[in-house]
Structure 1
Amino acid sequence: MGLGSFETCDANFHTFRDDEEIQKVQQIQPELERAIKESSISVIVFSKHYASSKWCLNELLNILHRRKTDDRYRVFPIFYDVQPSDVGNQRGSFKQAFDEFEKNGVEKVDQWRKALKEVSKLTGKVLQDESNGHEAVFIQTIVKEVGIILKRTVLAVTPYTVGIESQVENIDFWLKDPDDVSIGVISGMRGIGKTTIAKVAYNLNFQDFEASSFLANIQEASEQQNGLVRLQNQLLSDISNGKTQKIYNIDEGIVKIQDAMSQKRVLLVLDDVDRIEQVDDLIGAEDSFLKGSKIIITTSRERLLSHQKQKVFKIKQLDDDESLRLFCYHAFSQDRPMEGYLKHSRRVI
C-alpha cells in the first residue's frame, strides 16, 4: 500500500487513500501526483508484498522526490509485519521481488533500491515494536503521531497572543494529569482573553482525548429559543464522531450526553457561562463522566462553581509592557510603536 490508508475519519484528517481498486483507473497517475504535491505528509505502509508492486515503488520515488524539493513535507513510514532493515536491505520477500525484477530486466531497480534504503532510515512505526502488536491500538498511535507532526489545530486563534503562553502553562499541566479534578474554571473580567486561552489549551490537548467539543458563547445561546438544545446537539455530534442522534429537549439531551460521555475520555470546553444552570442543563451531573475527562468552563463570575470541587485559573491582566506590545501589533503590525508614536501609544495604554 502506498499513501496512508489507515482509518482517519474519527481524527478528521483529509486523506487520499491509494488502494488496488483506484489503481485500475487510467487517470490515476496525474491524480496521484497531484495528491502527493498537495499533501502535507505521506504515510507509507510497508507490508511483506509491498515490493512486488511496481506501482508502489514508483509511487515511493514520487514521494521521495517531493521530500527533496520541500523541507516542510514529511514522510512517515509504517512497517507492517516487516522490519525496517528488511525494507532497506531488501531481505526476505523484498529480496524475492527484486530477484524477479532483475531476472526480467526491469528498469528502475537501482532507483527503487536506493529509495527503500532511504525511507527505511526515516522515523516511523513498526507494528511488532508497538502496542504489543495490537493493530487497533497501533492505528490510534499512528493517528496521534501524525497529528503531532502536522501540529494540527481545530480552533482559530488570534495571531497576537501576547502574555497567553504563561497563562496556558498551568492549564496544560492540569489537562495532562488524568487523576486531577475534572472541572477547571478559567475566570477573569470580560475581554481579558479567557476564550483565547481556552482555545489555545484545547488545541494543545484535544488529541490526547478520545473525543472533544468546544461550545462557544453559551450565555448568548441560552437566551435564544432552543439555544441550549442546539448546543446539546453539537456536543453529542462532536463526541459521537458526527453520528446523528437528534435531541428535542434538554432533559432528553442530558441523558444522551451522559451516556456518550460515560464511554469516552472527553475534553469539553463550555465557553462564557454566567449561570450554573447552563452547565446543569447542558451536561447534567459530573459523576457520570468517564474518569480522566476534563471540562473547562470560562466565566467572568469567579464564584460560579464555588460549591463544587474544581481547579480555578484566574487570568491576570497584562502588564504595561505586554499591553504596549499587544496594542502595537494591532496598530502597527509590529511589536513596538512606529517612530514618533511611542508617547501617544503609552497614553493609549
Structure 2
Amino acid sequence: MNFSNVPFTTNASDAVSSSARLPAEPAAIITVAALAIVGNFLVLVATTRRQTFPSASRLFIVSMAWSDLLHGSIFPFLVAPARAGEWVYSHTAAQAIVVIGASSVATTAFALAGLNVDRLCALKNDGVGISRKKAWIFLISTWAGVYAFYIFSTVYGVPVYYDPVMALPSYDLKAHIWFSIVMFIIICSPLIVTLYCVVRILRALCAQNEPPAAQAAIYINVVGAGGSPPQNAPQQQPAPQNDTSDRSYAKVVLILTLVQIIMQLPAICAFVVSQLPVGDDLPTFVFWSAWLGLSNIFLDVVVYSVCQKSFRIAVKETAISVVSCMHNVCCRRNRVNVDDQQNIDMSNL
C-alpha cells in the first residue's frame, strides 16, 4: 500500500503556516466525532423506547444510526495523524478504517433509499409500506454485500493512502478500474432511487387529495318483524382513513433526505478538487468542505428532534433517565453511613 506522508501544503497567499493551522483540524475532527457518537446513540435509544416511526421505517432508521455511529467511532483515531500531518498507525489500521468508513457511507445511503421507498409506498397504498420481513432481508443483504465487497477489495490489493489535506485515509481510485466502477455503482444506485422517491413524495404531498363533496344521503331505518332490520337495509359506510400521520412521516423523511443530500455536496466538491492539480493549493477549502460533508452523520437527531414530537419526548425521557442514574450513583458514593458516623463520634469522646 502507498501511504502518503507529504506534509500539509498551503496557499502562497496564506500567511498562516501549516503548523499553525494544524491544531484547528483535530478540534474539528473531535467535534464531529463526539456529535456523531452522542447523536446516533440518542437516535438508537429513542427509537427503541418509543414508536417514533412505523415498524419498517424504524428498521431503516436504526440501520442509518448504526452506520453513522460506526463511522463516527473511527474519527477519534484520525486526530493524531491530523496533528502530525502524516499517518502514524499501521497499515492494517488504515485498511480497517477505510473499510468501515466506505461501508458506512454505502449502508447509510441504502438505508436512506429504503426509508424513502417505504414512505412512498405508504402514501400510495393507504399507509401500508414495506413489510418488516422485506426490510430485514434488504438491510441484511446490504450490510453483508457492502462489507464483503470492501473487505475483498482491500485484501485483494486496492491501494490505500492517507490524504493529509483532508486528514482521511481513502482508496486509490486510479489503481483498479473495476473497483472504481463498482464503487461508483454502489454510491450512485441508492442516490438515484432516493431522488426518484423524493420527486414522487413531493408530488404526492403537493397534490390535492381532497375528495369531492359527496351528496347527502338520507337513511331510513326500517325495522322488520321481530325487531330485526331487513336484509336489504342500507348499511352505514365507514369513515375514510385519516392519512395525516403518513403525510407527517413522509415530510420528516423528505426533510431528512434533502438535508443528507445537500450536506454531501461540499464533500463531493472537496473530492473533485483534491483529484485536480489545484487541490494542493487549496488545502483549507478541501479540508473544511470534506468535514462539512461528513458532519451529516449527526444531523439525523437534529432533524428528528425538530420535526417530530414523539422523538423529542423520547429524547427528553432518555435525558431524564441518564441524569437520574448519574444522580443516584453520585449520591450513593457520597452517602455517609449514619451508624458509622455515630460510632466514630462516640469513640472520640
Higher relative contact order (CA 8 A, sep 6+): 2
| Greater helix content | 2
TM-score range, shorter chain: under 0.3
Q: Could you say which structure has the larger radius of gyration?
A: 2
